[in-house]
Chains A and B, each alone.
Chain A
């Protein structure tokens, strides 16, 4: 079920009413409703893959219980690795099987030996990368004794399948989300209003910014040979806004929806395009994944404790794995590698934690230095997104080459002015709200009538300028 669909527009209020009016008396009933609603939400796409979620839930619940009982270190380690193997095994099979087979074939062909392997027609289950990491966080935290294993299976099933963030995050840590299923939820007016506001802003990002940019980004990337330099640069810019609007829009809707049900999820995006360096960008982009890798990969690998060499090695590992997590394609790996390269100078000069505050905090506009830093970081990001969007490394290479070659004898794409006005409006609102969790979080300080007019204006824009309905990009990851 897509957040920007009529199905969800019916599903959400029905679930909300059942949750707060019918099942509100007992917390277990509310959790059970969340499980049922989440399975319906997921099964709407393909009910067959519900078995994967249920299986993952059973495995990790059982492993958690076993870890609680077991005190022998070796056996505890074995239990942990069983969970890791099963979870990553599913992920590996569904997401990477064909990629590895094809890559091996190409490698053998490169060495002069042709092999004919069997590839499978595998459908990638939506959100598998997200819920796999979420359940893994539970087992690892229980193993590390950071979290008491749950004895409430319904609460655990609700934690694994919680529908707002099931298919595209934020990837919640068990230590943050699971305890929220144990405590009685009381309807909180201000939290619910904040949730609705965040949903509205998320829809604006997705339906207006991402879907409209997607249309032109797709045209330009698919026909890059015929377009001129300026159009190709615009294509990369459109994809830059598309991916941000799409993914952060999804996160906003997910967080907002959770708030309607009395849950607090972690912030996933913090205005990353206003970053002054790449390190800041990565502290602001897909925060739930970056911190997951930090906590469960970077730190266990030794983090930054073992000197510069280890720091560099671990940084590259994190970025490459992060790239690979996004999809079974070398383009994602290269995108990760490129970001590691961007990161390297900051790391070598120990400048990766310089910009930890909000840019131009308390001011209307940034100073010249900040502006140049932001533009430079943004340009690096746009360049890297070309690899992320391209179908293959060759496609990305040709696209970039065309930017330098196609300044003559090429055509430019006619793009309606409205799209530029909408992006400008979006950037202005994001800039004004950059010190909040999301751009329009702090609207309660303006008079109610103005606030409502603003909401109505946003809704009007949603109707007037809705792009063609597109699936969320991150569903494929």
Chain B
């Protein structure tokens, strides 16, 4: 028995090493940047990181401010771009960031991206407030329906993202979930590969927050609408919305739009061009085409609202 156990253990060690080599050579999993929480209780990435996307097709970078992508050359005439995994955009090459396309269509401005997957609406508002020190002339917050419901701890309590509690009328900052386990998992590529492909939980892309498509989305209940109204009223009263525009991805929930309209939020509702597919086949995130199409509409909006 002892030689059996010894051989099995040895084989497992060799197997793990062999698996690790294969995973690293073939980039079977995407590199995941490590996160921190800054002095403003905002979750961002550790600055100056670099990694590969699945398959090694391209690399992503985290800039010195702790956000994906490059910093602008100048902070004059600045527009900030705040959002979730769509804006973070690890799945596309560097040239397909929103800031690149907006720079192409409206070069008179400088663009500063601040994004992180899984961000909620209220989390994005916190980031926008923290970026006020850069004196942006405009702040674009890219959102979708789920970002609002996930912002309310009453509707759905989530410990790892920033939320609003309507009972205490306060913001609950998100916490880092099991950072040590994640660090271990993300660095041991083979184990991470096994985890994402063979874990008990349903397979999902761990680098990005799964987005709910409109057609599959459950309808908002009256209680949820009340909670959303409280959330948005709080936002309106506690943040400076003068320069902020909420950029909605196509097919936004009309009920949420109605509440936002009633509260006089600045909004831009993107429309997808049916001739061009915005998203990947097996991933709701935008492709380079989707980013370019979105940037065209946003650029027009910026130029018109100037």
Residues on A facing B (Cβ under 8 Å): 6, 20, 187, 189, 192-193, 452, 455-456, 459-460, 463
Contacts of A459 in B (CB 8 A): 15
- B214 is an interface residue with CB less than 8 A from chain A: no
The answer to whether B11 touches A189, judged by C-beta atoms less than 8 angstroms apart, is no
| B3 CB contacts on chain A under 8 angstroms | 189
Give Cα A248–Cα B297 distance, bound, in whole angstroms.
Answer: 58
Within 8 Å CB of B18, what residues of A? Answer: 456, 460
CB-CB under 8 A for A192 and B4, given A6-B198, A6-B200, A460-B22: yes
Q: How far is the CA of A474 from the CA of B129 in the complex (A)?
A: 62
- Cα–Cα, bound, A20→B4 (Å): 12
Which residue in A187, A460, A463 is a CB contact (below 8 Å) of B4?
A: A187
| Nearest B residue (CB) for A13 | B8
* 25 pairs from A and B in contact (CB 8 Å cutoff): A6-B198, A6-B199, A6-B200, A20-B1, A187-B1, A187-B4, A189-B1, A189-B3, A189-B4, A192-B4, A193-B4, A193-B7, A452-B11, A452-B14, A455-B11, A456-B14, A456-B15, A456-B18, A459-B15, A460-B18, A460-B19, A460-B22, A463-B19, A463-B193, A463-B197
Residues of chain B in range 1-57 having any CB-CB distance to chain A below 8 Å: 1, 3-4, 7, 11, 14-15, 18-19, 22
B194 and chain A: residue at smallest CB distance = A463
Q: Which residue in chain A gives the minimum CB-CB distance to B17?
A: A456
Q: Chain B residues with Cβ under 8 A from A187's Cβ? A: 1, 4
B193 (CB) vs chain A CBs: closest residue: A463
Residues 195-231 of B contacting A (Cβ, < 8 Å): 197-200
Q: How far is the CA of A192 from the CA of B2 in the complex (A)?
A: 12
Contacts of A463 in B (CB 8 A): 19, 193, 197
A interface secondary structure, majority = helix
For the complex formed, measure the closest distance between the CB of A203 and the CB atoms of chain B, giving whole angstroms: 13
15 extra interface residue pairs, beta carbon distance < 8 Å, beyond A455-B11, A463-B193? A6-B198, A187-B1, A187-B4, A189-B4, A192-B4, A193-B4, A193-B7, A452-B11, A456-B14, A456-B15, A459-B15, A460-B18, A460-B19, A463-B19, A463-B197
- Closest beta carbon of chain A to B128's beta carbon, Å: 42
Q: Report chain A residues within 8 Å CB of B197.
A: 463
Nearest opposing residue in chain B for A187, CB measure: B1
User: In whole angstroms, how far apart are the Cα atoms of A149 and B4 in the complex?
Assistant: 36
> Which residues of chain A are near B199, meaning CB under 8 Å?
6
The residues of B that contact A193 with a CB separation of less than 8 Å are 4, 7
Report A468 CB to chain B, min CB distance, Å.
11
CA distance A463 to B1 in the complex (A): 29
In the complex, which residue of chain B has the Cβ closest to the Cβ of A21?
B1
Q: For the complex, give the distance between the alpha carbons of A339 and B15 in Å.
A: 45
B contact residues around A189 at 8 Å (CB): 1, 3-4
Closest to B190 in A: A463
Which of chain A's residues has its CB closest to B197's CB? A463
Measured between alpha carbons, how far is A305 from B3 in the docked complex, in Å?
Answer: 53
A residues less than 8 Å from B198 (CB atoms): 6
Cα of A187 to Cα of B5 in the assembled complex, Å: 12
Q: How far is the CB of A268 from chain B (nearest CB, A)?
A: 25
Report the nearest B residue to A448, measured CB to CB: B7
Distance between Cα atoms of A345 and B81 in the complex (Å): 79
Residues of B within 8 A of A20 (CB): 1
Tell me the minimal C-beta distance from B177 to chain A in angstroms.
22
Distance to closest chain A CB from B15 (angstroms): 6
The interface residues of chain A lying within 8 Å CB-to-CB of B15 are: 456, 459
The smallest beta-carbon distance between A15 and chain B, in angstroms, is 15
Residues of B within 8 A of A456 (CB): 14-15, 18
CA distance A187 to B14 in the complex (A): 24
- Closest CB in chain B relative to A194 CB, distance in Å: 12
Tell me the complex Cα distance, A455–B3, Å: 18
Complex Cα–Cα for A463 and B19 (A): 10
Cα(A193)–Cα(B7), bound, Å: 10
Chain B residues with Cβ under 8 A from A455's Cβ? 11
Bound CA–CA A407/B197 (angstroms): 41
Question: With A and B bound together, what is the CA distance between A20 and B197 in angstroms?
Answer: 31
B192 vs chain A, min Cβ distance (A): 13
A1 to B22, CA, bound (A): 30
What is the CB-to-nearest-CB distance from B197 to chain A, in angstroms, rounded to a whole number?
A: 8
The chain A residue sitting closest to B23, CB to CB, is A463
Smallest beta-carbon distance B278→chain A, Å? 26
Counting chain A CB atoms within 10 Å of each CB, the highest count among B1, B11, B15 belongs to: B1
For A196, the closest partner residue in chain B by CB is B8
What chain A residues lie within 8 Å of B19 (beta carbons)?
460, 463
What's the Cα separation between A6 and B18 when bound, in Å?
21
Closest B-chain residue to A24, C-beta based?
A: B1
CA–CA, A189 to B2, complex, Å?
9
Closest 10 CB pairs of A and B: A187-B1, A456-B18, A189-B4, A6-B198, A192-B4, A189-B3, A456-B15, A460-B22, A20-B1, A6-B200
Contacts of A6 in B (CB 8 A): 198-200
Shortest beta-carbon distance from B144 to chain A in Å: 30
B83 to chain A, nearest CB (A): 34
Please, which residue of chain B has its CB at the minimum distance from the CB of A5? B198
Q: What residues of A have a CB within 8 angstroms of the CB of B7 in the complex? A: 193
The CA of A208 and the CA of B11, in the complex, are separated in Å by 22
